[in-house]
Amino acid sequence: MLGTVLFSANRGFALRNSREQMIRHFLSLNWRVVLATADDVECRRLEKLGAHREHVLFYRRGVSPNRDARAYRAMGRLCRKWQPDLIQQFHAKPVVLGTIAARRTLGASVRIVNTLTGLGRARSVGRWSTTAAEIGFRASLSHGDATVFQNPDDQAFCLEKKWVAPNATRLIAGSGVDLNRFHVVDRAERPPAEPVVVMIARLLKSKGLAEFGAVAHRIRTRWPAARFLLAGEPDLDHPDSVAESWLRQLPDIEYLGHLPDVVPLLHTADIFLYPSVYREGVPRVVMEAAATGLPTVAFDVPGVREAVQNNTTGLLVALGDLDGLTSAVSQLIMDVSRRRSLGSAARTLADETFDSRSIQQRYLALYRSLGVPA
Protein backbone atom coordinates (compact mmCIF):
# COMPACT_ATOMS: atom_id res chain seq x y z
CA MET A 1 0.00 0.00 0.00
CA LEU A 2 1.58 3.24 -1.20
CA GLY A 3 -0.34 5.47 1.20
CA THR A 4 -3.76 6.54 2.43
CA VAL A 5 -5.83 9.41 1.07
CA LEU A 6 -9.02 10.61 2.73
CA PHE A 7 -11.65 12.46 0.70
CA SER A 8 -14.26 14.38 2.66
CA ALA A 9 -17.41 16.12 1.40
CA ASN A 10 -20.98 16.91 2.39
CA ARG A 11 -22.50 14.23 0.15
CA GLY A 12 -21.38 11.16 -1.70
CA PHE A 13 -22.96 12.65 -4.82
CA ALA A 14 -20.35 15.41 -4.86
CA LEU A 15 -17.51 12.89 -4.72
CA ARG A 16 -18.92 10.58 -7.35
CA ASN A 17 -20.09 13.28 -9.73
CA SER A 18 -16.97 15.41 -9.53
CA ARG A 19 -14.08 13.33 -8.19
CA GLU A 20 -14.59 9.75 -9.29
CA GLN A 21 -11.70 9.97 -11.76
CA MET A 22 -9.40 11.13 -8.96
CA ILE A 23 -10.54 8.31 -6.70
CA ARG A 24 -9.93 5.78 -9.46
CA HIS A 25 -6.47 7.27 -10.02
CA PHE A 26 -5.40 6.73 -6.42
CA LEU A 27 -6.85 3.23 -6.36
CA SER A 28 -4.91 2.38 -9.52
CA LEU A 29 -1.70 3.44 -7.73
CA ASN A 30 -2.49 1.05 -4.87
CA TRP A 31 -3.42 3.77 -2.43
CA ARG A 32 -5.96 3.15 0.29
CA VAL A 33 -8.89 5.52 -0.37
CA VAL A 34 -11.22 6.53 2.47
CA LEU A 35 -14.44 8.49 1.91
CA ALA A 36 -15.79 10.55 4.81
CA THR A 37 -19.25 11.70 3.80
CA ALA A 38 -22.96 10.99 4.04
CA ASP A 39 -24.04 7.36 3.81
CA ASP A 40 -25.85 7.64 0.50
CA VAL A 41 -26.28 5.69 -2.71
CA GLU A 42 -23.50 7.53 -4.55
CA CYS A 43 -20.97 6.89 -1.80
CA ARG A 44 -21.85 3.18 -1.78
CA ARG A 45 -21.22 3.07 -5.53
CA LEU A 46 -17.75 4.45 -4.96
CA GLU A 47 -17.23 1.83 -2.29
CA LYS A 48 -17.72 -0.85 -4.95
CA LEU A 49 -14.63 0.51 -6.71
CA GLY A 50 -12.54 -0.41 -3.68
CA ALA A 51 -12.81 2.70 -1.50
CA HIS A 52 -13.56 2.52 2.22
CA ARG A 53 -16.78 4.26 3.23
CA GLU A 54 -17.01 6.11 6.56
CA HIS A 55 -20.29 7.75 7.51
CA VAL A 56 -19.86 11.35 8.66
CA LEU A 57 -22.92 13.57 8.71
CA PHE A 58 -22.10 17.24 8.18
CA TYR A 59 -25.03 19.43 9.19
CA ARG A 60 -25.77 21.80 6.32
CA ARG A 61 -28.66 23.93 7.56
CA GLY A 62 -26.47 26.31 9.53
CA VAL A 63 -24.68 26.08 12.87
CA SER A 64 -25.59 23.30 15.28
CA PRO A 65 -23.16 22.95 18.21
CA ASN A 66 -24.20 19.36 18.93
CA ARG A 67 -24.22 18.12 15.33
CA ASP A 68 -21.05 19.98 14.42
CA ALA A 69 -19.29 18.60 17.50
CA ARG A 70 -20.28 15.05 16.47
CA ALA A 71 -18.88 15.58 12.98
CA TYR A 72 -15.68 17.02 14.43
CA ARG A 73 -15.22 14.04 16.74
CA ALA A 74 -15.97 11.65 13.89
CA MET A 75 -13.26 13.23 11.73
CA GLY A 76 -10.80 12.95 14.61
CA ARG A 77 -11.63 9.24 15.03
CA LEU A 78 -11.14 8.64 11.31
CA CYS A 79 -7.75 10.35 11.36
CA ARG A 80 -6.62 8.15 14.26
CA LYS A 81 -8.02 5.02 12.60
CA TRP A 82 -6.66 5.48 9.07
CA GLN A 83 -3.63 7.74 9.64
CA PRO A 84 -4.01 9.38 6.20
CA ASP A 85 -1.02 10.81 4.36
CA LEU A 86 -3.24 13.19 2.36
CA ILE A 87 -6.64 14.69 3.14
CA GLN A 88 -8.63 16.35 0.34
CA GLN A 89 -11.74 18.16 1.53
CA PHE A 90 -14.63 19.90 -0.21
CA HIS A 91 -17.41 22.18 1.12
CA ALA A 92 -17.41 24.44 4.16
CA LYS A 93 -18.18 22.07 7.05
CA PRO A 94 -15.71 19.34 6.00
CA VAL A 95 -13.03 21.99 5.41
CA VAL A 96 -13.51 23.69 8.77
CA LEU A 97 -14.17 20.69 11.02
CA GLY A 98 -11.93 18.28 9.15
CA THR A 99 -8.89 20.55 9.07
CA ILE A 100 -9.00 21.36 12.78
CA ALA A 101 -9.60 17.72 13.74
CA ALA A 102 -6.80 16.44 11.48
CA ARG A 103 -4.20 18.91 12.68
CA ARG A 104 -5.01 18.25 16.34
CA THR A 105 -4.95 14.50 15.78
CA LEU A 106 -2.08 14.03 13.33
CA GLY A 107 -0.08 17.23 13.60
CA ALA A 108 2.26 17.95 10.70
CA SER A 109 2.35 14.33 9.50
CA VAL A 110 -0.58 14.81 7.09
CA ARG A 111 -0.94 17.03 4.05
CA ILE A 112 -4.29 18.84 3.92
CA VAL A 113 -5.73 20.34 0.73
CA ASN A 114 -9.02 22.23 1.03
CA THR A 115 -11.19 23.09 -1.94
CA LEU A 116 -13.73 25.87 -1.45
CA THR A 117 -16.57 25.17 -3.85
CA GLY A 118 -18.18 28.52 -2.99
CA LEU A 119 -18.27 30.72 0.09
CA GLY A 120 -21.99 30.51 0.79
CA ARG A 121 -22.86 32.21 4.06
CA ALA A 122 -19.37 33.61 4.53
CA ARG A 123 -20.44 36.37 2.13
CA SER A 124 -23.96 36.85 3.42
CA VAL A 125 -24.83 39.89 5.48
CA GLY A 126 -26.36 40.18 8.93
CA ARG A 127 -26.56 36.51 9.86
CA TRP A 128 -25.21 34.63 12.82
CA SER A 129 -24.17 31.91 10.39
CA THR A 130 -22.03 34.48 8.55
CA THR A 131 -20.06 35.21 11.71
CA ALA A 132 -19.74 31.50 12.43
CA ALA A 133 -18.48 30.84 8.89
CA GLU A 134 -15.88 33.59 9.19
CA ILE A 135 -14.64 32.22 12.51
CA GLY A 136 -14.48 28.73 11.06
CA PHE A 137 -12.58 29.69 7.91
CA ARG A 138 -10.19 31.90 9.87
CA ALA A 139 -9.43 29.04 12.26
CA SER A 140 -9.04 26.33 9.64
CA LEU A 141 -7.69 27.60 6.32
CA SER A 142 -4.39 28.75 7.78
CA HIS A 143 -3.79 25.20 9.09
CA GLY A 144 -4.18 23.56 5.69
CA ASP A 145 -1.25 23.09 3.34
CA ALA A 146 -3.13 24.53 0.36
CA THR A 147 -6.52 26.06 -0.37
CA VAL A 148 -7.97 25.67 -3.86
CA PHE A 149 -10.40 28.32 -5.05
CA GLN A 150 -12.66 27.78 -8.05
CA ASN A 151 -13.06 31.44 -8.98
CA PRO A 152 -10.92 34.56 -8.47
CA ASP A 153 -13.65 36.46 -6.58
CA ASP A 154 -13.62 33.94 -3.72
CA GLN A 155 -9.84 33.84 -3.74
CA ALA A 156 -9.58 37.64 -3.51
CA PHE A 157 -12.19 37.74 -0.72
CA CYS A 158 -10.30 35.24 1.45
CA LEU A 159 -6.98 36.95 0.83
CA GLU A 160 -8.50 40.29 1.79
CA LYS A 161 -9.80 38.72 5.01
CA LYS A 162 -6.29 37.29 5.64
CA TRP A 163 -7.74 33.82 6.18
CA VAL A 164 -5.02 32.22 4.10
CA ALA A 165 -1.52 33.14 2.93
CA PRO A 166 -1.20 34.02 -0.78
CA ASN A 167 1.45 31.35 -1.41
CA ALA A 168 -0.91 28.69 -0.01
CA THR A 169 -3.68 29.35 -2.55
CA ARG A 170 -4.37 27.87 -5.98
CA LEU A 171 -6.99 28.78 -8.58
CA ILE A 172 -8.49 25.74 -10.34
CA ALA A 173 -11.80 26.33 -12.12
CA GLY A 174 -14.23 23.73 -10.85
CA SER A 175 -13.96 19.97 -11.21
CA GLY A 176 -14.36 19.91 -14.99
CA VAL A 177 -16.43 17.58 -17.13
CA ASP A 178 -15.77 14.41 -19.08
CA LEU A 179 -15.64 15.76 -22.62
CA ASN A 180 -15.97 12.25 -24.02
CA ARG A 181 -19.38 11.98 -22.40
CA PHE A 182 -20.64 15.49 -23.11
CA HIS A 183 -20.39 16.00 -26.83
CA VAL A 184 -21.90 18.31 -29.41
CA VAL A 185 -24.83 17.01 -31.42
CA ASP A 186 -26.68 18.33 -34.44
CA ARG A 187 -29.77 19.65 -32.71
CA ALA A 188 -33.01 18.87 -34.45
CA GLU A 189 -34.41 21.65 -36.57
CA ARG A 190 -37.58 22.99 -35.04
CA PRO A 191 -39.70 26.06 -35.80
CA PRO A 192 -38.25 29.23 -34.26
CA ALA A 193 -41.44 29.67 -32.27
CA GLU A 194 -40.94 26.31 -30.51
CA PRO A 195 -37.63 26.67 -28.63
CA VAL A 196 -36.61 24.38 -25.76
CA VAL A 197 -35.05 26.19 -22.81
CA VAL A 198 -33.49 24.04 -20.10
CA MET A 199 -32.33 24.54 -16.53
CA ILE A 200 -30.65 21.95 -14.29
CA ALA A 201 -30.18 22.71 -10.61
CA ARG A 202 -30.75 21.51 -7.10
CA LEU A 203 -34.10 22.71 -5.82
CA LEU A 204 -32.85 25.76 -3.95
CA LYS A 205 -34.39 29.21 -3.99
CA SER A 206 -31.01 30.87 -4.63
CA LYS A 207 -30.54 28.79 -7.78
CA GLY A 208 -33.10 31.08 -9.43
CA LEU A 209 -36.10 28.77 -9.70
CA ALA A 210 -38.61 31.60 -9.32
CA GLU A 211 -36.73 33.63 -11.93
CA PHE A 212 -36.76 30.67 -14.31
CA GLY A 213 -40.52 30.44 -13.90
CA ALA A 214 -40.97 34.19 -14.40
CA VAL A 215 -38.94 34.21 -17.63
CA ALA A 216 -40.88 31.17 -18.84
CA HIS A 217 -44.17 32.99 -18.27
CA ARG A 218 -43.00 36.09 -20.13
CA ILE A 219 -41.57 34.16 -23.08
CA ARG A 220 -44.58 31.89 -23.43
CA THR A 221 -46.87 34.91 -23.55
CA ARG A 222 -45.18 35.71 -26.86
CA TRP A 223 -44.27 32.17 -27.97
CA PRO A 224 -46.87 29.82 -26.44
CA ALA A 225 -45.19 26.74 -27.93
CA ALA A 226 -41.89 27.42 -26.16
CA ARG A 227 -40.95 24.74 -23.62
CA PHE A 228 -39.13 25.41 -20.36
CA LEU A 229 -37.76 22.20 -18.85
CA LEU A 230 -36.37 22.04 -15.32
CA ALA A 231 -34.49 19.05 -13.94
CA GLY A 232 -33.08 18.76 -10.44
CA GLU A 233 -33.15 16.94 -7.16
CA PRO A 234 -34.62 18.12 -3.85
CA ASP A 235 -32.08 19.03 -1.19
CA LEU A 236 -34.15 18.99 1.97
CA ASP A 237 -31.10 19.30 4.24
CA HIS A 238 -30.27 22.70 2.78
CA PRO A 239 -31.80 25.80 4.44
CA ASP A 240 -32.68 27.25 1.03
CA SER A 241 -34.65 24.20 -0.10
CA VAL A 242 -37.73 24.48 -2.34
CA ALA A 243 -40.44 21.82 -2.34
CA GLU A 244 -41.19 19.85 -5.50
CA SER A 245 -44.90 20.54 -4.92
CA TRP A 246 -44.28 24.28 -5.34
CA LEU A 247 -42.54 23.72 -8.66
CA ARG A 248 -45.32 21.56 -10.00
CA GLN A 249 -47.75 24.46 -9.51
CA LEU A 250 -45.86 26.73 -11.91
CA PRO A 251 -47.88 26.61 -15.14
CA ASP A 252 -45.16 27.55 -17.60
CA ILE A 253 -42.43 25.06 -16.72
CA GLU A 254 -42.19 21.29 -16.96
CA TYR A 255 -40.49 19.81 -13.92
CA LEU A 256 -38.73 16.56 -14.81
CA GLY A 257 -37.47 15.61 -11.38
CA HIS A 258 -33.98 14.22 -10.79
CA LEU A 259 -32.35 12.77 -13.90
CA PRO A 260 -29.54 10.23 -13.42
CA ASP A 261 -28.16 11.29 -16.81
CA VAL A 262 -28.61 14.89 -18.01
CA VAL A 263 -26.93 14.40 -21.41
CA PRO A 264 -30.12 13.52 -23.33
CA LEU A 265 -31.88 16.57 -21.90
CA LEU A 266 -29.03 18.91 -22.88
CA HIS A 267 -29.02 17.42 -26.37
CA THR A 268 -32.68 18.34 -26.85
CA ALA A 269 -32.22 21.94 -25.69
CA ASP A 270 -31.67 25.13 -27.67
CA ILE A 271 -30.77 27.43 -24.76
CA PHE A 272 -29.49 26.85 -21.24
CA LEU A 273 -30.97 29.31 -18.74
CA TYR A 274 -29.26 29.57 -15.35
CA PRO A 275 -30.49 32.54 -13.25
CA SER A 276 -28.61 31.44 -10.12
CA VAL A 277 -27.21 33.72 -7.44
CA TYR A 278 -25.96 30.80 -5.34
CA ARG A 279 -22.39 31.32 -4.07
CA GLU A 280 -20.76 28.36 -5.76
CA GLY A 281 -17.29 28.02 -7.19
CA VAL A 282 -17.99 27.32 -10.86
CA PRO A 283 -21.38 25.74 -11.68
CA ARG A 284 -20.79 22.31 -13.11
CA VAL A 285 -24.07 22.26 -15.03
CA VAL A 286 -23.03 25.34 -17.02
CA MET A 287 -19.79 23.60 -17.97
CA GLU A 288 -21.80 20.55 -19.02
CA ALA A 289 -24.11 22.70 -21.14
CA ALA A 290 -21.10 24.33 -22.81
CA ALA A 291 -19.62 20.90 -23.54
CA THR A 292 -22.74 20.00 -25.54
CA GLY A 293 -22.57 23.24 -27.54
CA LEU A 294 -25.34 25.11 -25.72
CA PRO A 295 -25.26 28.88 -25.17
CA THR A 296 -26.07 29.95 -21.61
CA VAL A 297 -28.09 32.93 -20.42
CA ALA A 298 -27.37 33.83 -16.81
CA PHE A 299 -26.81 36.54 -14.23
CA ASP A 300 -23.32 38.04 -14.19
CA VAL A 301 -22.20 36.73 -10.79
CA PRO A 302 -18.96 35.17 -9.46
CA GLY A 303 -18.47 31.60 -10.58
CA VAL A 304 -20.95 31.84 -13.43
CA ARG A 305 -18.84 34.43 -15.23
CA GLU A 306 -15.95 31.93 -15.18
CA ALA A 307 -18.12 29.48 -17.13
CA VAL A 308 -19.79 31.96 -19.51
CA GLN A 309 -17.96 34.50 -21.66
CA ASN A 310 -20.45 37.27 -22.31
CA ASN A 311 -21.37 37.69 -25.99
CA THR A 312 -18.95 34.88 -26.88
CA THR A 313 -20.32 31.67 -25.33
CA GLY A 314 -23.54 33.07 -23.89
CA LEU A 315 -25.23 36.18 -22.55
CA LEU A 316 -24.79 37.61 -19.05
CA VAL A 317 -27.09 40.22 -17.54
CA ALA A 318 -26.93 42.27 -14.36
CA LEU A 319 -27.89 40.50 -11.18
CA GLY A 320 -31.64 40.64 -10.60
CA ASP A 321 -32.43 42.13 -14.03
CA LEU A 322 -35.42 40.00 -14.98
CA ASP A 323 -36.18 42.18 -18.01
CA GLY A 324 -32.61 41.72 -19.24
CA LEU A 325 -32.80 37.98 -18.69
CA THR A 326 -36.03 37.77 -20.68
CA SER A 327 -34.61 39.95 -23.43
CA ALA A 328 -31.48 37.79 -23.71
CA VAL A 329 -33.54 34.61 -24.07
CA SER A 330 -35.75 36.34 -26.64
CA GLN A 331 -32.72 37.40 -28.68
CA LEU A 332 -31.47 33.84 -28.92
CA ILE A 333 -34.90 32.50 -29.78
CA MET A 334 -35.14 34.87 -32.73
CA ASP A 335 -31.53 34.55 -33.92
CA VAL A 336 -30.75 30.89 -34.62
CA SER A 337 -27.40 31.63 -36.27
CA ARG A 338 -26.19 33.58 -33.24
CA ARG A 339 -27.40 30.81 -30.97
CA ARG A 340 -25.32 28.32 -32.90
CA SER A 341 -22.29 30.60 -32.97
CA LEU A 342 -22.37 31.06 -29.20
CA GLY A 343 -22.87 27.33 -28.71
CA SER A 344 -19.89 26.48 -30.91
CA ALA A 345 -17.71 28.89 -28.95
CA ALA A 346 -18.99 27.35 -25.72
CA ARG A 347 -17.72 23.94 -26.78
CA THR A 348 -14.35 25.46 -27.69
CA LEU A 349 -14.17 27.00 -24.21
CA ALA A 350 -15.01 23.61 -22.70
CA ASP A 351 -12.22 21.96 -24.68
CA GLU A 352 -9.72 24.59 -23.55
CA THR A 353 -10.78 25.04 -19.93
CA PHE A 354 -13.24 22.46 -18.59
CA ASP A 355 -11.61 19.12 -19.44
CA SER A 356 -11.71 17.08 -16.22
CA ARG A 357 -8.47 15.31 -17.15
CA SER A 358 -6.57 18.60 -17.26
CA ILE A 359 -8.07 19.71 -13.96
CA GLN A 360 -7.13 16.38 -12.36
CA GLN A 361 -3.55 16.83 -13.52
CA ARG A 362 -3.45 20.23 -11.83
CA TYR A 363 -4.59 18.65 -8.56
CA LEU A 364 -2.01 15.87 -8.87
CA ALA A 365 0.70 18.46 -9.52
CA LEU A 366 -0.39 20.29 -6.37
CA TYR A 367 -0.22 17.08 -4.31
CA ARG A 368 3.27 16.35 -5.65
CA SER A 369 4.42 19.86 -4.78
CA LEU A 370 3.47 19.02 -1.19
CA GLY A 371 5.57 15.86 -1.23
CA VAL A 372 2.72 13.41 -1.91
CA PRO A 373 3.72 10.79 -4.54
CA ALA A 374 0.46 11.00 -6.51
- The predicted pLDDT at position 62 comes to 78
Contact in structure between 193 and 223 (CB atoms under 8 Å):
yes
Same structural domain, 165 and 200: no
Same structural domain, 32 and 168: yes
Same structural domain, 166 and 134: yes
- The predicted pLDDT at position 358 comes to 94
Give dist(CA 303, CA 154) in Å, integer: 9
Residue 50, classified by CB atoms within 10 Å of its CB into exposed (0-12), middle (13-18) or buried (19+), is: middle
Average pLDDT value over all residues in the chain = 92
Q: Pick the residue with more confidence: 278 or 232?
A: 232
Number of other residues whose CB lies within 10 A of the CB of residue 88: 28
Per-residue pLDDT band for 189 (boundaries 50, 70, 90) equals confident
Span 85-90, mean pLDDT? Answer: 97
Contact in structure between 40 and 16 (CB atoms under 8 Å):
no
Contact in structure between 114 and 147 (CB atoms under 8 Å):
yes
Least confident of 164-168, 226-230, 246-250, 309-313: 246-250
Same structural domain, 81 and 223: no
In a domain, 336, yes or no: yes
Percent of the chain with pLDDT over 90: 76
As beta bridge partners, residue 52 has 34
SS3 138: helix
In a domain, 308, yes or no: yes
In a domain, 315, yes or no: yes
Q: DSSP secondary-structure letter at 350?
A: I
326-351 pLDDT, tens per residue?
999 999 999 999 999 999 999 999 99
- The predicted pLDDT at position 236 comes to 81
- The predicted pLDDT at position 112 comes to 98
Residue 139 sits in a domain of what CATH number?
3.40.50.2000
Closest to 37 (Cα-Cα) out of 66, 8, 60: 8
Give dist(CA 243, CA 226) in Å, integer: 25
Same structural domain, 218 and 330: yes
> Taking 50 as the threshold, does the pLDDT of residue 32 lie above it?
yes
- The predicted pLDDT at position 121 comes to 54
In a domain, 273, yes or no: yes
The enclosing H or E element of 160 equals helix 152-160
35-76 pLDDT, tens per residue?
999 988 888 999 999 999 999 999 887 788 899 999 999 999
Same structural domain, 362 and 342: no
- The predicted pLDDT at position 123 comes to 53
Backbone angles phi, psi at 204, to 5 degrees: -125, 140
In a domain, 190, yes or no: no
The predicted model scores a pTM of 0.91
Give dist(CA 43, CA 45) in Å, integer: 5
In a domain, 137, yes or no: yes
In a domain, 292, yes or no: yes
Give dist(CA 163, CA 79) in Å, integer: 24
Q: Pick the residue with more confidence: 314 or 60?
A: 314
Same structural domain, 94 and 204: no
DSSP letters along 305-333, please? HHH--BTTTEEEE-TT-HHHHHHHHHHHH
91-135 pLDDT, tens per residue?
999 999 999 999 999 999 999 999 998 776 555 444 545 677 788
Number of other residues whose CB lies within 10 A of the CB of residue 189: 7
Q: Looking at the chain, how many residues does it have?
A: 374
Same structural domain, 101 and 223: no
Same structural domain, 345 and 364: no
Same structural domain, 56 and 155: yes
End-to-end CA distance of the chain: 13
Percent of the chain with pLDDT over 70: 97
- Name the residue range of residue 312's domain: 196-354
In a domain, 183, yes or no: no
Contact in structure between 273 and 212 (CB atoms under 8 Å):
yes
> Taking 80 as the threshold, does the pLDDT of residue 187 lie above it?
no
Same structural domain, 349 and 359: no
- Chain centroid, CA 12 distance in Å: 13
Domain count across the chain = 2
Same structural domain, 169 and 270: no
